[in-house]
Amino acid sequence: MQTISPFLWYDGQAEEAIRLYTSVFKNSKIININYWAEGSPFPKGQVMTGVFELDGQQFYAFDAGPQFKFTEATSFFVSCETQEEVDHYWNSLTADGGQESRCGWLKDKFGLSWQIIPSALMKLMGDKDPVKAGRVMQAMLQMKKIIIADLEKAYNQ
């Protein structure tokens, strides 16, 4: 059992978010969804809470109105090995109203921030040669979605 889990507050979109995330990430599942009952402060049948798992990490979702919004101060870092993975997560999470940001960051259509980062970025930026690492950093700063081939091109200049 996981001791610490992210708890995400939504405004009427928890079920849609749960279904999107579990469709995007491999080895994911919905564990349970509970709905608001008659007489609650929210419409009967709207999700109250949901528990879901994304690639082994458990999350909680709570659907309780507009009082709180997501900010970039909290994001989920997704490590990718290939450009295909980067493209999959990037395209899936920016679809239908998500927003691209810079340097591998995006917001999904619910306003939740994600960092879609290939392991090559950390490897190349961590090179002992500060000139090569600096070129990689400069290339990354010009990107929205991280393109591994462009990082490698900057590294090998």
Residue 21: domain span: 1-65
Tell me: do 53 and 118 sit in the same domain.
no
Tokens of 139: 């290339």
If asked whether residues 87 and 126 sit together in one domain, one would say yes
Query: Can you give the CATH number for the domain in which 91 is found?
Result: 3.10.180.10
For 140, residues 6+ apart whose C-beta sits below 8 A from its C-beta are: 103, 104, 121, 125, 146, 151
| pLDDT confidence of residue 74 | 96
Check: CB of residue 3 under 8 Å from CB of residue 96.
no
pTM: 0.93
Q: pLDDT, tens digit, for every residue of 98-147?
A: 999 999 999 999 999 999 999 999 999 999 999 999 999 999 999 999 99
